[in-house]
Structure 1
Amino acid sequence: MPKVASVSAPDRTSGVRSRFPRQLRLLNAGDYKHVFDHAPFKVHGKGMLVLARPNALGHPRIGLIFSKKNVRRAVDRNRLKRLVRESIRLQQHRLPPVDIVLLARRGVHELDNASVARQLNGMWRRLEKSARQTRHDTSST
């Protein structure tokens, strides 16, 4: 029996993953230190803390700190980091140009993926609002 050719085109997007671009990451210890030393924006969420400071790059950058002390299992640390990276990748155009350090706190690993996504979206909104308010306050004086 002869083989029948496929009528539909092959799906080339099924194996393609969106990457987290290098330009959206804090890359060295100096970048982290700068945020820790001069962070005018602090946003608290359940199990997470965001520290941020304005940058001159025109886009946000993020650094993640998930210590073994606060998130014991590697599988949980990796899951949470994936969720944060995906969230920032999707929200990058909404966020102000800031350098962000996101710190995990105890108990964050107990949240399910949907709860983490909701927490992050709320934190990004509050960060955006704080940065907008600060820009508005400095431009009006």
Structure 2
Amino acid sequence: MQNQKRPGHPEAPPSQGPSTPVGLGLPQSARLLKRPQFLECYSHGKRVTSPGFLMFVVPRDGKGRLGVAVSKKIGRACQRNRLKRLIREAYRRHRNLFTGWDVVIVPKRGIDCTRIHQFLVDEELVLLATRAKDRRSCRSHHM
């Protein structure tokens, strides 16, 4: 016998906090996911540096893809995850600068995860893309 005062299947309570934005982020097709993809960038890619990051770039037909590699020597897991989110967001904002490249971004050891913010990451990614394009054009003129 069922209790008459309580409904059989209560509805879930409304969730708290902000709802997840739809359509933001990078689709799987825009990310490097497998180890061989990363190794390809490390071994055949051009290396470009900025004060806080190291970037490996491999030319590719079509849209570019992003890989992020953060060493365990950089902060705790929550700090590394935050840094990865900041890098992915900066890449998403400036994706047009990376068209035609597979890119792996590696934060340098001395980076301060607790003080870095989105503006700085955006600035450094734009600098890296500019340096990579300059290297690309210099090489094509010398051939």
**Which TM-score bucket, shorter chain as reference?**
0.7 to 0.9
List aligned pairs for 1:120-131, cutoff 5 A. 120-131=125-136
Is residue 95–residue 128 contact of structure 1 (8 Å, CA) maintained in 2?
no
List aligned pairs for 1:18-33, cutoff 5 A. 18-33=24-39
Aligned to 2:66: 62
**Matches of 2:122 and 2:115, distance apart in 1:** 10
Gaps of 5+ in 1: 1-13
| 1:97 aligned residue (87, 97, 100) | 100
Structure 1 vs Structure 2 CA RMSD: 2.1
Between 95-104 and 107-116, the greater mean CA deviation after superposition: 107-116
- TM superposition shift of 1:89: 1.0
**Matches of 1:111 and 1:37, distance apart in 2:** 32
* 2:57 maps to 1:52: yes
**Matches of 1:24 and 1:133, distance apart in 2:** 27
- TM superposition shift of 1:110: 5.4
Cα 1:131–1:91 change in 2 (3 A) is farther
* 2:82 maps to 1:79: yes
Normalized against structure 1, the TM-score is what?
0.74
Is residue 57–residue 101 contact of structure 2 (8 Å, CA) maintained in 1?
yes
Normalized against structure 2, the TM-score is what?
0.74
Larger radius of gyration: 2
User: Which segments of structure 1 move beyond 4 Å, counting only runs of 4 or more?
Assistant: none
- TM superposition shift of 1:74: 1.7
Gaps of 5+ in 2: 1-18
Aligned to 1:106: 109
